[in-house]
Chain A
């Protein structure tokens, strides 16, 4: 079974621009979560989607948004990029609805650099 895939793998953007990152979960997985990983803050939860609905959201500003499609693929968008948004953005999928605890499977991440 193919793992979680994320595109693009690397991205360089300028402050003020917006960016869209894409995630394809493991086949059959319907839950997708997004995390931001930085050296200072570690891994921080952004949001989680299940069946095209946002189930949970972390403590990030409204510039960070996401969506999930009927095929479970997910995108996250960051508008008006700031230098501090430079990070590795990780997507994780799970076969279960998050109302049930279950492990998550992570993709390789998208490395976003904001200049």
Chain B
């Protein structure tokens, strides 16, 4: 079964520091990749997505992610974080569930980001 690994459970950064959150998946076929964010007290929101094309994708609020197929990775980056980026970040992979003929999202366990003013 496919799995998604987010190696950092909790990351603490000062404002203006650069951010990189790791995401690796185990699936040999075609994947569609997502990063979702959950701000305190709010629901999950889509940050960015990759389906095909340019492996460097840009999302909302200055976030970007790079799909490296050879490394099975889809790391999230932001050059300068703000206090308002404090949230939990989830990487997700959509793969085809051949038995059902439908795509299914598998999530990583999330990385909590705390930004100190």
Where the two chains meet, the residues of A that have a C-beta atom closer than 8 Å to any C-beta of B are 3-4, 33, 35, 41-45, 48, 50, 55-58, 90, 92, 97-109
Flag whether B80 is at the interface (Cβ < 8 A): no
Flag whether B82 is at the interface (Cβ < 8 A): no
How many angstroms between the C-alpha atoms of A101 and B33 in the bound complex? 10
Flag whether B16 is at the interface (Cβ < 8 A): no
Contact A43–B100 (Cβ < 8 Å): no
Contact A56–B102 (Cβ < 8 Å): yes
Contact B103–A98 (Cβ < 8 Å): yes
How many angstroms between the C-alpha atoms of A109 and B45 in the bound complex? 13
> Which B residues are CB-close (under 8 A) to A109?
43
Contact B104–A98 (Cβ < 8 Å): yes
Flag whether B90 is at the interface (Cβ < 8 A): yes
Flag whether B25 is at the interface (Cβ < 8 A): no
> Which B residues are CB-close (under 8 A) to A102?
103
How many angstroms between the C-alpha atoms of A50 and B102 in the bound complex? 10
Contact A43–B97 (Cβ < 8 Å): no
Q: How large, as a class, is the contact surface on chain B?
A: 20 to 34
Contact of A90 among B44, B96, B101 (CB under 8 A): B44
Contact of B43 among A33, A42, A97, A107 (CB under 8 A): A107
- Give min CB distance, A63 to chain B, whole Å: 21
> Which A residues are CB-close (under 8 A) to B34?
103
Contact B46–A99 (Cβ < 8 Å): no
Chain B positions 58-117 with a Cβ under 8 Å from a chain A Cβ: 90, 92, 94, 96-97, 100-110
Contact B103–A106 (Cβ < 8 Å): no
> Which A residues are CB-close (under 8 A) to B92?
43
In the complex where A103-B34, A107-B43, A109-B43 touch, is A98 in contact with B107 (Cβ < 8 A)? Answer: no
- Give min CB distance, A75 to chain B, whole Å: 19
Contact B46–A103 (Cβ < 8 Å): yes
> Which B residues are CB-close (under 8 A) to A3?
43
Contact B44–A100 (Cβ < 8 Å): no
Contact A55–B100 (Cβ < 8 Å): yes
Flag whether B51 is at the interface (Cβ < 8 A): yes
> Which B residues are CB-close (under 8 A) to A57?
100
Closest chain A residue to B52, Cβ basis: A101
Greatest chain B CB density within 10 A among A48, A50, A57, A101 is at A101
